[in-house]
Amino acid sequence: MADIGYPDIPPTGFDAVDIPQEAHEGGFTFSSNRMVREWCEHFRFVEVKTCTQERADDGFGRFLFGFPYAEIRAAEILGDRYIVVLYNSLTGQIRESSLPDLLGRASSKAWQLTVQLAPTEVVWEGHDVLDLFGGPPPELDVFDLF
């Protein structure tokens, strides 16, 4: 993405790219940076959220899913060219929407911090999560938090 002018969109910001039929007919290939740059403004970037829950209704009500920061950032940058496809693999139902529309339909929203630990042989030199909150009170042991 950085090579075609989108340095702030992480590689995990979307799942697929919808390429216009005209590009296919013109021999489009991702192996040609020239072609990618030429057609990029016509791409739609697709995030797929798959549902395997029987409780999701026909309009995907009661379908719980998350948007990591990379997806939110991509949607902010790409605007109308970023779409979310909801897919219910039990019923085969598919709906296309935008991130703002989905957020507007939300019955609840909760922020989450997702953490992946470094391999144990790596020495962590970054901030401790407690530093984000000013550290624990002196009498608090870290195990009291859990």
Question: Which residues have C-beta within 8 Å of that of residue 15, sequence separation ≥ 6?
Answer: 46, 47, 48
Higher pLDDT, 137 or 111: 111
How much is the average pLDDT of 119-145?
A: 59
Confidence of residue 146 (pLDDT cuts 50, 70, 90): very low
pLDDT at residue 142, rounded to an integer: 46
* pLDDT per residue as tens digits for the range 28-67: 999 998 999 999 999 999 999 998 877 777 778 778 888 9
Distance CA 71, CA 107 (A): 20
Q: Which pTM does this prediction carry?
A: 0.72
Confidence of residue 117 (pLDDT cuts 50, 70, 90): confident
Domain spans of the chain, in order of start: 2-109
